[in-house]
Amino acid sequence: MSFKLEMDGDEWEGFCERMLRHEFTWKNFETVPHKDRGDHGIEFFTKCGVIFQCYFPDPTYSMADYKKHVQKKINDDLKKLTKYETEIKKMLGDIVITEWVLVIPEVKSKDLIKYCKKKEKSLPKLSFFSIDGISVKIESDDSFPSGSLYSRTFIGEEINIPLEDVETADAEAWKNSNSAFYDNICRKTLKVTETGVEHLRTELIKNYLILEELMDAYRDQFPDLHTDIKNIALANLQTVKNNNLFRKQEPQEALSSLLQLNRDGLSKIEQRISLQNNEAFSSGFIASWLAECKMEFIINE
């Protein structure tokens, strides 16, 4: 939500247009110009039958004012569908509408969902509606993760998932429930260093656990970016593996070069991720590969 706080209505509309055009692709998405005689209560529509409107409530509104203004926006724009039915029908052509969606920065109250259902039941049967009527919905950009992520690149937004420190007790619990992985870490760390080995093992376990949490968060919120990050890391692993076919590196050297490859590769992604997330990914992948036996070629066993 933080990147949306500094927006205004026009900026939010531009953000939504980029987001939805990316989500539905240009062949299936249409923007309605409003310079001449207004947009007739439709800012965007899709060939699959969805009408979109955007609204940016004042962030300083109280909850009561917020609900009042959002409900007014829904009510006013739905009325325009009836008022401009003939013009809208000409604009849509053969497209049959099944959904009307208001996109706002954040859905703060379940009362708005109830209000949408209430309005849905009271709508008249319009010529461009599905024979079963239409759904009236309210959504935020969270419903369009791929498009939202794409649109953020135009405003320089940095992706950052807050990370919590892993307690030593949690690392100990992981050892007990993942004995095979822990044995792998123990074998490999003996090849890496002879001093501070217990500290290294604990840090690797913590990095492993943080990576799992971070990957789950990116998979849920930014699925395309999750895939890009995973592919970059695997390509880096393969690069170091191929290099070691011709010149065997010392374990410390190989691990350090792989760590730097991860850092550099992730920093070049078009959608910027925070330095904190970059470092967690870069070191976490190495921890997971050591635990899951994907780096035997480096350790030379």
Instruction: Say whether both 174 and 274 belong to one domain.
Output: yes
Name the domain boundary from 94, 124, 152.
152
The answer as to whether 161 is a domain residue is no
What distance in Å separates the CA atoms of residue 154 and residue 118, rounded to the nearest whole number? 37
Domain containing residue 29: 2-152
Tokens 């070691």 belong to residue: 244
For the stretch 217-273, pLDDT in tens is 888 777 778 999 999 999 999 999 899 888 888 888 889 999 999 999 999 987 788
Q: Do residues 58 and 116 share a domain?
A: yes
User: Which CATH number characterizes residue 110's domain?
Assistant: 3.40.91
d(CA 22, CA 286): 33
Do both 39 and 142 map to the same domain? Answer: yes
Q: Which of 298, 206, 297, 197 is nearest to 252 (CA)?
A: 298
CB 165, CB 209: distance < 8 Å = no
Same domain, yes or no, for 195 and 252? Answer: yes
9 and 35 together in one domain: yes
pLDDT at 155 over 90: no
35 and 134 housed in the same domain: yes
Is the domain of 181 the same as that of 100? no
Instruction: Evaluate whether residue 163 is within a structural domain.
Output: no
In a domain, 172, yes or no: yes
Q: With respect to residue 118, please indicate whether it lies within any of the assigned structural domains.
A: yes
On whether residue 250 sits in a domain, the answer given is yes
Both 44 and 180 in a single domain?
no
Q: 194 burial class (0-12, 13-18, 19+ CB within 10 angstroms)? A: exposed
Q: Select from 152, 186, 213 the last residue of a domain.
A: 152
Please report which confidence band the pLDDT of residue 21 belongs to, taking 50, 70 and 90 as the band edges: very high
Across the chain, what does the average pLDDT equal? 90
pLDDT score, position 1: 55
Q: What is the pLDDT of residues 172-217, one digit of tens each?
A: 999 999 989 999 888 888 888 878 899 999 999 999 999 999 999 8
Q: Are residues 181 and 147 in the same domain?
A: no
Q: Model-level pTM?
A: 0.62
pLDDT for position 92: 95
pLDDT single digits (tens) 42-79 = 999 999 999 999 999 999 999 999 999 999 999 999 99
Choose one of 124, 152, 180: the last residue of a domain: 152
Rounded Cα distance between 249 and 262, Å, is 17
Is the pLDDT reported for residue 288 higher than 90?
yes
Residue 293 falls within a domain, yes or no? yes
Predicted pLDDT at 235: 96
Domain co-membership, 127 together with 179: no
Q: Domain count of the chain?
A: 2
pLDDT given for residue 72 in this prediction: 96
Each residue's pLDDT tens digit, 96-148: 999 999 999 999 999 999 999 999 999 999 999 999 999 999 999 999 988 98
Q: Are residues 54 and 193 in the same domain?
A: no
Strand-pair partners of 136: 100
Q: Over range 22-34, report the average pLDDT.
A: 89
CA 278, CA 233: separation in Å to the nearest integer? 11
160 in a domain, yes or no?
A: no
Whole-number Å distance between alpha carbons of 267 and 282: 10
What is the 3-class SS of 4-38, one letter each residue?
A: HCCCCHHHHHHHHHHHHHHHHCHHHEEECCCCCCC
Which residues are CB-contacts of 176 (< 8 A; sequence separation ≥ 6)?
A: none
Same domain, 40 and 129: yes
The H or E element spanning position 139 is: strand 135-139
Domain assignment present for 14: yes
Specify the pLDDT at position 191.
83
Residue 42 C-beta-side C-alpha neighbours within 13 Å: 24
Please state, in angstroms and rounded to a whole number, the distance separating the CA atoms of residues 205 and 169: 11
Task: From residue 215, give the alpha-carbon distance in Å to each of 53, 65, 201, 227, 255.
Answer: 33, 38, 21, 10, 21
